[in-house]
Amino acid sequence: MVKPFRSRGFLNIVYAVLLWPGMAQAAGDYPRWGFTPYLGTHAPQLTLLNDHVYQADLFGQANVLVYEGGQGQGQDANITETVEWKFESSVPRVGFTPVTGVEFEWQPNAVHSMVIGIGSWESTSQVRNVGNLPMQKYYVSNLVASTRRAKLSYTEYALGWRYNFRKIDRFRLYSLLSLHEIFDIDYQDEQEFLFLDSPIVDLIGIRRVMLVKAQTAALQALQLGVGGEWEANKSLSVGIAAGYMLGQDTFQLNNVKIQDDFLDNDGLTRLGMPYGEMAAGSLGYLAPGVTVSQLFKPTTRRNYYRPMPLNFDGWRLSAKITFYY
């Protein structure tokens, strides 16, 4: 007859396996707890976002004045023409970006540790340019200052196992395996235009803003790493760690909201937006080489935007201070 599985006995075996390797190493110091604030950096790939959305300029069409006629009867009429315009607005790529958080550690012995952590990461890419923007039939006479700011952020929970494989006096080396739940992934891209000078006096000091927001729910990732720790005393240590994060899958930025405060009488179209909403509701990037004429029809404009699967695969480095008790 097969005996039923007893969870308490199984847990006792697991505890014994964890505890046995460290019983000969200052058994009186274990088990113990640790609290670790850390400051680090993470450089995710984000290839399509970096190469297309962040490196794209804004372009479109505008009806501009090429000859200003007189005001009275019999005077020459104004002459306008449709021109294509472009405004430089590429921002720096996402690279190594700060990640901060805290960890709670349980050491049953001198060899093994269980770690639970929470942290956050936020990347900001920004550029400021001065140039010409067509508005209300004037183009080269309109001088504007533009600020584009793109932000991407996430929050994470982590559960990990640390194995201390080498100890030399107060210094120890360890390997780390951790599972990360990445959530609250938010993207925001805002571009503001401030009119510095214009033949239309009422435009000076006026601002126009374009804004896109998108987000996604959550994804899982695995991190493999190594680290070192120097114990100042039984209650305090400092250390560094390095690892590589591998995502379970790619993700799309969804729940897209695109808005601006341009007016109909501003007289310009912003056809070449760096980003656009795909038919499925996710954020896409504008295909390279697309022209204004191809984007002119609203019914086919989405055809020139491509899906943008992303991941957070990349290296992570961190510096830590641990308080033991």
Q: What is the dihedral of CA 278, 280, 282, 288, to 10 degrees?
A: -30
pLDDT at 75: 58
Per-residue pLDDT, averaged over 84-100, amounts to: 94
Length of the chain: 325
Angle at 174 between CA 315 and CA 41, to 5 degrees: 25
- Does the residue 237 lie in any domain? no
What span, in angstroms and rounded, lies between the C-alpha atoms of 10 and 14? 6
pLDDT at 105 over 70: yes
- Does the residue 159 lie in any domain? yes
Q: How high is the mean pLDDT of the chain?
A: 88
Tokens of 315: 């290296």
Rg (CA), the chain: 29
What span, in angstroms and rounded, lies between the C-alpha atoms of 53 and 189? 10
pLDDT at 140: 84
DSSP string, 65-101: EEE---SSTTSPPPEEEEEEEEE----PPP-SEEEEE
Q: Which pLDDT band, with edges at 50, 70 and 90, does 7 fall under?
A: very low
Could you read off the pLDDT of 29-53 as tens digits, one per residue?
789 999 999 999 999 999 999 999 9
* Domain of residue 147, residue span: 43-65+79-95+109-217+253-310
138 and 199 in contact (C-beta within 8 Å)?
A: yes
pLDDT at 126: 96
Per-residue pLDDT, averaged over 274-278, amounts to: 90
- Does the residue 176 lie in any domain? yes
Could you read off the pLDDT of 282-316 as tens digits, one per residue?
999 999 989 888 898 888 888 899 999 999 999 99
Q: Which pLDDT band, with edges at 50, 70 and 90, does 279 fall under?
A: confident
Measuring CA to CA, which residue among 242, 275, 244 is closest to residue 258?
275
Buried b (16+ CB within 10 A) or exposed e, 47-73: ebbbebbbbbebbbbbebbeeeeeeee
Locate all alpha helices (DSSP H) within the chain, ordered by sequence.
Answer: 7-19, 47-48, 292-295
- Does the residue 138 lie in any domain? yes
- Does the residue 132 lie in any domain? yes
120 and 96 in contact (C-beta within 8 Å)?
A: no
Residue 33 β-bridge partners? 106
pLDDT at 93 over 50: yes
Q: What is the reported pTM?
A: 0.84
Q: Count up the domains in the chain and report the number.
A: 1
Selected residue with higher pLDDT from 213 and 263? 213
Per-residue pLDDT, averaged over 230-238, amounts to: 94
Selected residue with higher pLDDT from 79 and 123? 123
Per-residue pLDDT, averaged over 116-123, amounts to: 97
- Does the residue 26 lie in any domain? no
Selected residue with higher pLDDT from 223 and 62? 223
pLDDT at 320 over 70: yes
Per-residue pLDDT, averaged over 22-28, amounts to: 47
Selected residue with higher pLDDT from 49 and 12? 49
What span, in angstroms and rounded, lies between the C-alpha atoms of 50 and 265? 34
- Does the residue 230 lie in any domain? no
- Does the residue 14 lie in any domain? no
pLDDT at 59 over 80: yes
pLDDT at 192 over 80: yes
